[in-house]
Structure 1
Amino acid sequence: MPWNIPILLTWLRILIIPVFTILFYLPSSWVADRDLINWLAAGFFAAAAITDWFDGYLARKWNQTSNFGAFLDPVADKLMVAVALILLVATGRTYALFAMIIIGREITISALREWMAQMGKRSSVAVAKIGKFKTAAQMVAIFLLLLTSAPTLAPNWIWVLGNILMLLACILTVWSMLYYLKMAVKEFKQ
């Protein structure tokens, strides 16, 4: 297993997940200010999201790409997003349908990429621009929803904006999944 800064950043992203999760389960007697918890959780998530971009950039720039890094990076991304979505649904900050669409797509596309890799055609389902737009909308939506608590009587503007972006992320999620499936079908027809 190669050790370099991009892979260490990916491992850091994985290690942030339990810290991020524990914040949601701290007793009120330890931290009475739930807004502080929201800001800390959003900060940890933002740090993890930034390392997602930064590790790929550094790996390409320093020519430190590896098969292990190519495997670990998407695993870290999917773990981070799945945990965040589950916590957001559990705390009433977003809708279960959004989480099901996004997590379901991630599992489907991961399985498709694995299958295509076994056939020697992984490049046919390489990351496309639509996937990058989906990821950006999803990361910003999750960040915003982590900042706010679940609405009680009237939703606040951060919650509304976060869920509008989550809806956009879901639309892009389905669109990108259909794009990748279409690319895979082309390969099967050849």
Structure 2
Amino acid sequence: MLNLSNKISLSRIFFIPPLVFCIMQVQHNNHYRYACLLIMIMIGLSDMLDGYFARRRNEITNLGRYLDPVADKLVLMVSCIILSSDQVWPEPRFPNWIMTVIVSRDLVLMFGTVALLIITGRMDCQPTMLGKAATAFQIIAIISVIMGNLIPLTVLVAIWWLVVILTFTSGLLYIYRGVKQL
């Protein structure tokens, strides 16, 4: 049975199809930016609320330990890929190299986690503060791209660099922690 925090985590996955639909419509009608923005804000808030409710209600579960990061990774990877496509998204777009850093780190972490499970029979999916900061700034970067030209390019570039630094550094930290478990 799903508890409240697991339902909130699962809702993030269910937000992906409407988000993708709205992102794909922006080239045809700029008003869809507002729908994208609303969906991403709801995703960001749900990411904060699921952990809060799990701790507050003492409902931390094994399912939640895996569902929460998987939901985060799916939302962030799909958003980054689509928002970097010149076929789908108008300017400003994520530069492909930033999207590559984010998606590569998440794929390495997902495959590494599965490999740890196969090799050791257990996985430790405990998030670090650095990983949480990277996720938060990835969401901020996605929202900034969705907001379009309302964000000055210099601010957008600064956010992107911060995302790259946090994403890369947290990825190295997670890899280090995974190797230590072997």
The TM-score range, normalised by the shorter chain, is: 0.7 to 0.9
Question: What letter corresponds to residue 166 of structure 2 in structure 1?
Answer: L
Residue aligned with 1:65, SS: coil
Question: Aligned ranges for residues 23-172 of structure 1 at < 5 Å?
Answer: 23-26=22-25, 32=29, 34=30, 36-90=31-85, 91=89, 92=91, 93-118=93-118, 119-120=120-121, 122-123=123-124, 126-148=126-148, 157-172=151-166
Q: CA deviation at 1:167?
A: 1.9
Whether the 8 Å CA contact 2:16–2:75 is kept in 1: the answer is yes
Whether the 8 Å CA contact 2:116–2:122 is kept in 1: the answer is yes
Give 1 or 2 for the bigger CA radius of gyration: 1
CA distance in 1: counterparts of 2:132 and 2:36, whole angstroms: 23
Q: Which residue of 2 aligns with 1:153?
A: none
CA distance in 1: counterparts of 2:170 and 2:112, whole angstroms: 13
Moved more, 66-75 or 110-119: 110-119
Identity of aligned residues (%): 26
Q: Which residue of 2 aligns with 1:9?
A: 8
Residues 66 and 178 from structure 1, CA distance in 2 versus in 1: closer, same or farther, beyond 3 angstroms? same
Deviation digits for residues 102-131 of structure 1 (CA, Å, limit 9, x no counterpart): 0110111122223334415534x6311111
Residue aligned with 1:122, SS: coil
Q: What are the ranges of 5 or more consecutive residues in structure 2 without an aligned counterpart? A: none
Q: CA deviation at 1:184?
A: 2.8
Q: What are the ranges of 5 or more consecutive residues in structure 1 without an aligned counterpart? A: 150-155
Whether the 8 Å CA contact 1:145–1:159 is kept in 2: the answer is no
Q: CA deviation at 1:99?
A: 0.7
Moved more, 74-83 or 110-119: 110-119
- What is the alpha-carbon root mean square deviation over aligned residues? 2.1
TM-score by length of 1: 0.82
TM-score by length of 2: 0.86
